[in-house]
């Protein structure tokens, strides 16, 4: 929902809530709402669904690799004879 069109739609909804007596200010309010929304969303440092999915795949592969390495370490540890005996 970080697209410009989405922000415009939200800004328009906010403007529609403004009392009719302030009709002259609708254009300015819409621009201000749009800028404030865009700025707030940028601060949240949101990522796209695609970026999120890519990172989830990277994490899954990394987790699988760590599990493999933990298993190998455990096998090596059981294969070692105790020292000093």
Which residue from 42, 59, 31 is spatially nearest to 2, judged by alpha carbons? 42
**At 2, is the pLDDT very low, low, confident or very high (cuts 50, 70, 90)?**
low
3-state secondary structure 32-70: HHHHHHHHHHHHCCCCCHHHHHHHHHHHHHHHHHHHHHH
Mean pLDDT for the stretch of residues 70-85 = 81
Q: Which residue has the higher pLDDT, 17 or 36?
A: 36
pLDDT on residue 50: 94
Is the pLDDT confidence value at 62 over 80? yes
11-38 in b/e form (b: 16+ CB < 10 A) is beebbeeeeeeeeeeeeebbeebbeebe
Domain locations in the chain as residue ranges: 1-46, 47-85
> What percent of the chain stands above pLDDT 90?
33
> What percent of the chain stands above pLDDT 70?
89
Q: Give the Cα separation of 80 and 73 in Å (integer).
A: 11
């Amino acid at each position: 929902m970080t697209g410009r069109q989405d922000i415009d739609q939200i800004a328009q909804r906010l403007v529609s809530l403004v009392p009719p007596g302030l009709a002259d200010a609708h254009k300015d309010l819409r621009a201000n709402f749009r800028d404030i929304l865009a700025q707030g969303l940028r601060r949240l440092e949101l990522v796209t669904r695609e970026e999120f999915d890519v990172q989830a795949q990277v994490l899954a592969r990394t987790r699988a690799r760590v599990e493999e390495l933990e298993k190998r370490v455990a096998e090596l540890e059981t294969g070692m004879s105790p020292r000093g005996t």
